[in-house]
Structure formats: structure tokens, C-alpha cells
Amino acid sequence: MSAREGTVRTAVITGASSGIGAATARALHAAGYRVALLARRGDRIDALAAELGDDAIAIVADVTDRDSLVAAAQRVQDELGGADVLVNNAGIMLLGPFASERREDYRAMVETNLLGAITATEVFLGQLEDGGGDLVNLSSVAGRTARATNGVYAATKWGMNGWSESLRQALLPDVRVTLIEPGVVDTELPTHITDDATRQAVQESYDAARVKPEEIAEVIAFVLSRPRHLVINEVLLRPADQA
């Protein structure tokens, strides 16, 4: 039996201010977890923490800023007793044709989606290893299938997949590693696309999206609820009509 088994578990969710991250925070809180909500938009996570109540704290943190993650980890240790679960969810999807004009988009995606997740993990790893932890990495169908306009986004998600398999081997059995690979989910993800034509085209498909973030959150909560001798390492899930 692990040191913390039978006690209330604490989940840290990056990118908890909207979409899948906010829904995951709600689902895990409803399942009895204490939750630490990390994101840059403090007003959003403050409102969510207030909605959830005493077992939720909001921490402004940017996954591209290691110091802010170190400070967040200290608060999680002091106020919630340490993280049992880290959900690496923060991400941006700046799609568009490959071109030099978008090199800042490429840097931002690599620094947020891939390096941000790696940094959050190395910062929280000591807490996760203390008593049996879980790491949930948000990848994507784009981590399995690259397309002409998603090259660098896909590269970050393919990177997430390879890194997660390495971590799975390195951290077993104390930390379970799970990769979640959704298709189109109805969130604000496409609104940040800088290429106008691409944003409009992608937004149209998101406007028609029927899969809601709560449905992804439900899967994450299910994965985490398995007995500790079992781990669901990978979940690939698409809208039933996604090609």
C-alpha cells in the first residue's frame, strides 16, 4: 500500500482556465480530488476555484516559465500536501501553411506543448514519486497523423508521444503514465490561430464539433480511477464522423 493510498488525492492541471483542462478539473474535483488549477489567465482560474470550493486552489503559472512552475509546486506542497496527479494539458494549436512568417508560432508551440509539459513534469516529479502518482499527457490525433497544415503542432504531439513512452518505462511502477489523444473537441483552441484563412477554416469544423471537453474529462477521470496495478497507457478518441 502506498503512503497516500486511502487519502484524498491532489491533481494539478495545467491549462485549467478553459476547455479540456477546466472540464478535467471539474471532473476530478467531483471524483473527490483536491485540485490545483494552473494557467496564465488568473481571473478564469480564480472563478473556477471559487466555484469548486475549499479543495481547489488557483495558481497563475506559465508553463514556458520554469520559475512560475517551481513556485506553483511549492504552493501545491504547502497547501495541498503535494501532487499525486499531473495533467499536462496546456497547449496551443497555431496551424497554417509552413512559412518563415510563422516562426514565432512554431517556437511558441514547441515551448508550450512539448517543453512546457517536460518542464512541469520534471518540476513536479518528486511529488508524483512520493507515494504513487499519475502523469496524464494531452497529445492528439495529430500525434498519430500529420497533415499539410499542422506540421509543427503535429511535431509537438508526436514528441509528446515518444517522450511519454520513454517516461512510462523510466517511471514504472511508481508513476503511471497515460497519453490522451483526442480528435476535434469543442473548445477555444482554434481561436488563437494567427493565419486568418486557416483560422476561419478550422473554426468552421470546430463550430460543428459535437464532442465536448466534459467527455474527454470523463475519460481522464476513468483512467485515473483504475486500481494501481493497472494502467491505461494510451487513449485515442475521435468524433465518430472524423476522417
Among all residues, which ones are annotated catalytic?
A: 153
**In angstroms, how far is CA 32 from the centroid of its own chain?**
19
Which residue of 82, 96, 182, 239 would you call a contact of ligand NDP, by CB under 6 A?
Answer: 182
When asked if residue 159 is in the footprint of ligand NDP (CB under 6 A), the reply is no
Provide the b/e sequence for 119-150 (b: ≥16 CB within 10 Å): bbbebbbebbebbbbbbbbbbbbbbeeeeebb
Residue 188 sits in the site that holds ligand NDP (CB under 6 A):
yes
CB of 169 to ligand NDP, least distance (A): 23
Q: Pick the closest to residue 161 from 135, 184, 138 (CA basis).
A: 138
Phi, psi of 184 (to 5 degrees): -65, 125
41 binds ligand NDP (CB under 6 A): yes
Whether 40 contacts 59, CB under 8 Å: no
- The binder of ligand NDP chosen from 10, 12, 14, 85 (CB under 6 A): 14
Binder of ligand NDP out of 18, 121, 150, 164 (CB under 6 A): 18
Kindly state the smallest distance separating residue 96's Cβ from ligand NDP, in Å.
15
40 binds ligand NDP (CB under 6 A): yes
Minimum Å gap between C-beta 127 and ligand NDP is 18
Instruction: List the Cα angle 90/91/96 in 5-degree steps.
Output: 170
* Residue 21 within binding range of ligand NDP, rule CB under 6 A: yes
Distance, in Å, from the CA atom of 71 to the CA atom of 7, rounded to the nearest integer, reads: 24
Q: How far is the CB of 113 from ligand NDP (least distance, A)?
A: 6
Reading across the β-sheet that carries 85-88, which strands appear in turn? Answer: 56-60, 34-39, 10-14, 85-88, 133-138, 175-182, 234-237
Q: Hey, which residues between 56 and 115 contact ligand NDP (CB under 6 A)?
A: 62-64, 89-93, 112-113
Q: How far apart are CA 241 and CA 243, in angstroms?
A: 6
Find the part of the chain contacting ligand NDP (CB under 6 A) among 40-48, 98-106, 196-204, 235-243.
40-48
Which residue has 476530478 as its cell numbers?
28
Rule CB under 6 A: which residues touch ligand NDP? 14-15, 17-21, 39-41, 44, 62-64, 89-93, 112-113, 116, 138, 140, 182, 184-185, 187-189, 213
